[in-house]
């Protein structure tokens, strides 16, 4: 019998991709809006991107309990779960470091000035979700 919060690995991967693509959409539309002085169509697209981000976050991180697993105390995890989380943390923070360096140096090379608060918020989101995304991506059963 399937658990209420279970999702196939393939579907989890799809929703993880959708979740992170929505962040790219949010940033792309934000800079488009900034450049074109926020026409109504761009505002609507930005709102739709936020809705997609929230919906996909709930679908892949909340309903599968990946968020809870990645944000619980190590005292509440069994040995297998603890090993899975430590491994995901190792990979996620390595990836996060590379992402941040690419963005910081990209802005410096392009002489775009300081990083906007929207990028900072997206990076904070990525930092908090990446360990859970790696678990969702790699593990057959959660």
pLDDT tens-digit readout, 27-50: 999 999 999 999 999 999 999 999
Distance CA 83, CA 26 (A): 33
Q: What's the mean pLDDT when you consider all of the chain?
A: 92
Residue 1 clears pLDDT 50, i.e. is over it? no
pLDDT tens-digit readout, 60-81: 999 999 999 888 888 888 899 9
Which residue, 104, 95, 103, 105, is CA-closest to 127? 95
Residue 84 clears pLDDT 60, i.e. is over it? yes
Residue 95 clears pLDDT 80, i.e. is over it? yes
> Please, what is the end-to-end C-alpha distance for the chain in angstroms?
15
Residue appearing with tokens 């943390």: 89
Indicate the SS3 state at residue 20.
Answer: helix
- Evaluated on CA atoms 105, 106, 110, 116, the torsion sign reads negative
């Amino acid at each position: 019998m399937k658990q209420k919060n279970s999702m196939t690995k393939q579907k989890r991967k799809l929703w993880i991709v959708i979740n992170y693509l929505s962040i790219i959409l949010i940033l792309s539309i934000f800079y488009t809006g900034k450049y074109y002085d926020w026409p109504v169509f761009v505002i609507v697209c930005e709102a739709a991107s936020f809705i997609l981000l929230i919906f996909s976050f709930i679908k892949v991180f909340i309903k599968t309990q990946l968020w809870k697993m990645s944000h619980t105390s190590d005292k509440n995890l069994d040995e297998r779960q603890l090993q899975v989380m430590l491994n995901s943390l190792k990979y996620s923070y390595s990836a996060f470091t590379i992402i941040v360096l690419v963005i910081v140096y990209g802005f410096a090379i392009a002489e775009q000035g300081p990083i906007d608060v929207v990028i900072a918020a997206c990076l904070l989101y990525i930092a908090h979700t990446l360990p859970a995304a790696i678990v969702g991506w790699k593990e057959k059963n959660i």
